[in-house]
Amino acid sequence: MTHTLPLPDFTHERVEVITGRRSGLFIAVALHSSVLGSALGGARLWTYPHWSDALGDALRLSAAMTLKNATAGLDAGGGKAVIRMETGTVLDAERRRAAFLDLGDAVESFDGLYRTAEDVGSTMDDMAVVAERTTHVVGLPDASGGSGEPAGPTSLGVYESLRAVLERTTGSADVAGRRITISGLGQVGGRLAVRLSAEGALLTVTDVNPERRHLAGELGATWVEPGEEHLVASDVFVPAGIGGLLTDEVIDALDTAAVCGPANNPLASHSGADRLAARGILYAPDFVVNAGGVIYLDHEAKKRGSRTEIMDRVTHIGDTVRRILADSEARGITPLAAAEELAAERLRAGAETPVLH
């Protein structure tokens, strides 16, 4: 489900919008910031009611990537690509390949200031197609000498963040016996559900794709219809699908102690953080929680340690969440404000000491 949202403020360095010459599809590539280095952010293939919805998503997601990469301590800026499918469009193999060749050309036009990767709707194999047109792509299949699937590291980071949140709200990081609702059972949400179930969590799950219901059965989780999951009482609510889920109406009805999930931009509006705080619901900012994949991809591409060492780095996302939550409580501000200030500090330092792109 895509929530139509107004276009955000334009704070970007560069945005390219094209109609793919091979595919005929709308493609937007948004470079929000390269202050800390070449921007890194995935390529989303999704259905949008109107091209402006796709553009708005690219603008919001790229700005979120700037925050994500900064708080993660990466020498990387923020960018994002979006390929729009019209409602009812189903891509055959030929047109899908054409779309990612078109994306490769668009990425190449940024001369290395933006590196793309897989995201919602795209795969490692799609990135291999992009690589036919540009070298500025990460997350290629292992067989191609790439770093492989980033959903595992992303899921690990969310797990460690969730433990940090439980520690703050219950006094224990143990997930056993905790009621956790996961909205979205894609690559990341599905992996998280499997791990939490194995550790004894009491799961409620849903997904806009009814075929994912089989996973609920396999895990012994309770399935609810999409749009009803926020009404189920939980210790932690995990938004793991498309952004914009947490509207004012959803927040007012949300029955949980905390929100912690990998969905990019889950708040329909920035003020949602204050609304959650007013209801006493702890919010772990998405761009901190879901940074595992980008940490993994950036470190792998730059050969900064073995995969084991990089995955160990991902586990420290939980420590970053703890730092932000402690700062938030000490200063009487929302966790979102604390996380944004952490990112701003790093961006200011980067602006004073530019890194090589």
The confidence score (pLDDT) of residue 145 equals: 63
What is the band of 357 on the pLDDT scale with cuts at 50, 70, 90?
A: very low
Q: pLDDT by residue (tens digit) across 180-193?
A: 999 999 999 999 99
Instruction: Enumerate residues 6+ apart whose C-beta is below 8 A from 198.
Output: none
- CA 196 vs CA 152, 155, 207, 216, 233: distances in Å: 14, 11, 17, 12, 17
Residue 147 pLDDT > 70, yes or no?
Answer: no
What are 10's two structure tokens?
């334009």
Sequential DSSP letters for 253-314: H--BSEEE---SS-BSSTTHHHHHHHTT-EEE-HHHHTTHHHHHHHHHHTT-S-HHHHHHHH
What is the band of 355 on the pLDDT scale with cuts at 50, 70, 90?
A: very low
> Catalytic residue among 68, 80, 302, 303, which?
80
What is the band of 143 on the pLDDT scale with cuts at 50, 70, 90?
A: confident
User: What's the DSSP call for residue 21?
Assistant: T
List, in order of start, the domains of the chain with CATH numbers: 14-65+77-144 (3.40.50.10860), 151-290+318-339 (3.40.50.720)
What are 86's two structure tokens?
């019209």
Residue 46 pLDDT > 90, yes or no?
Answer: yes
302 counts as catalytic: no
CB 43 within 8 A of CB 83: yes
- The predicted model gives 162-171 an average pLDDT of 98
**Mean pLDDT computed over every residue of the chain:** 94
What is the band of 356 on the pLDDT scale with cuts at 50, 70, 90?
A: very low
What is the band of 1 on the pLDDT scale with cuts at 50, 70, 90?
A: very low
**Structure pTM?**
0.87
* Percent of the chain predicted with pLDDT > 90: 88
Return the sign of the alpha-carbon dihedral for residues 238, 242, 246, 249: negative
The confidence score (pLDDT) of residue 10 equals: 86
The confidence score (pLDDT) of residue 16 equals: 97
Q: pLDDT by residue (tens digit) across 103-130?
A: 999 999 999 999 999 998 999 999 999 9
Q: pLDDT by residue (tens digit) across 66-100?
A: 999 999 999 999 999 999 999 999 999 999 999 99
The confidence score (pLDDT) of residue 9 equals: 79
